[in-house]
A and B are shown apart, each in its own frame.
Chain A
Amino acid sequence: MSRFRVAVHIVPRRGLLDPQGKAVTDALHTLGFASVKDVHVGRHLVVEMDASDSSSAERTTRDMCTKLLANPVIEDFEISSVSTL
């Protein structure tokens, strides 16, 4: 068993109305960042866990995402990194 740190991005599903993302986009435009086309506001979770190897840590985190961390009706998730502690 080793200890891993798994980072997960959770974002609103593409195509869904994302009023927070829209508000941030508008604010960036107001600040002069005219090149910004779109912003999506989501969550970033960092899970520390014990697992036999990194693929097992990733698999378990994926399971956590489908059961609790993300709601598949409205959100997509992506495991952005798995690192050994």
Chain B
Amino acid sequence: MKFGIVTFPGSNCDYDAYHAVVDALGEEAQYLWHKDHDLRGSDVVILPGGFSYGDYLRVGAIARFSPIMREVVAHAERGAPVLAICNGFQIACEAGMLPGALLRNASLRFVCEAVRMRVENADTLFTNRYDRGQLITIPIAHGDGRYMADDETLARIEGEGRVVFRYVGGPGDADEWWSPNGSMNAIAGIVNAAGNVLGMMPHPERAVDDLLGSSDGMGVFESILSRVAA
């Protein structure tokens, strides 16, 4: 299976995503330049983390108009998988591939730390290798990760089981919802209505090796592989 990893000017997690796919998962990966007009046969597209276009205007706002995004949106509309991580999640929201938006963290601080999340839906293309309710630890590293949507949208995505990851723990370390960035309902990751686009602020590609703290992110890549290769 071939993963296409988009490099925007300012992307900085594209190499980590490549490492996760090629070295950890053992699949093929290629970089796709933001000016490209062709996904070159990619089965899965990854929109990686970073600070595309310097976060000018709003996070993700300019990247959305990169030539490659036309192809990425078409790829998603065909039902093919798109994994949008961190800045990729922000871009996917701006591009209308996912509902809502990501705002400045409520603390106004950039937060870089491993956080605990609960897998809320283990039936998706991206989470079928996890168990529902499983607690996983994956790093976050962002200043603009506060998920926000209007009440109607929020009720809809909750009702449809589209909130796939939720932050839990924090001070006191309970199973309670707890958001390191002030996200509504402690939302860490959501899927689109068709279930083929996942946006998440935490970085699964940085959690693919126990030596580096956690391999809990591998489940995302293995889930995609099991579903798409099947």
**Chain A interface (Cβ within 8 Å of chain B)?**
16-17, 19-20, 23, 43, 68-69, 71, 73-74
The 10 closest A-B pairs by CB, nearest first: A73-B101, A74-B101, A19-B108, A19-B106, A71-B101, A71-B58, A23-B108, A74-B103, A19-B104, A74-B148
Structural contact, A17 and B108, CB atoms closer than 8 A: no
Query: 8 Å CB contacts to A: which residues of B58-81?
Result: 58, 61, 65
Tell which of A20, A23, A68, A73 touches B148, judged by Cβ atoms closer than 8 Å: A73
> Could you give, for residues 150-167 of chain B, a 1 whenever the CB lies within 8 Å of some chain A CB and a 0 otherwise?
100000000000000000
A45 to chain B, nearest CB (A): 9
How long is the Cα–Cα vector from A43 to B104 in the complex, in angstroms? Answer: 14
- What residue of chain A has the Cβ atom nearest to residue B150's Cβ? A73
How long is the Cα–Cα vector from A19 to B148 in the complex, in angstroms? Answer: 14
The SS class assigned to the A binding surface is: mixed
How long is the Cα–Cα vector from A56 to B150 in the complex, in angstroms? Answer: 32
Structural contact, A71 and B106, CB atoms closer than 8 A: no
Residues of A within 8 A of B105 (CB): 19
> Could you give, for residues 77-106 of chain B, a 1 whenever the CB lies within 8 Å of some chain A CB and a 0 otherwise?
000000000000000011000001101111
B182 at the interface (CB under 8 A from A): yes
B228 at the interface (CB under 8 A from A): no
- What residue of chain A has the Cβ atom nearest to residue B153's Cβ? A73
Structural contact, A69 and B103, CB atoms closer than 8 A: no
How long is the Cα–Cα vector from A68 to B149 in the complex, in angstroms? Answer: 18
- Contact A17/B106 with A69-B57, A71-B94 known, Cβ cut-off 8 Å: yes
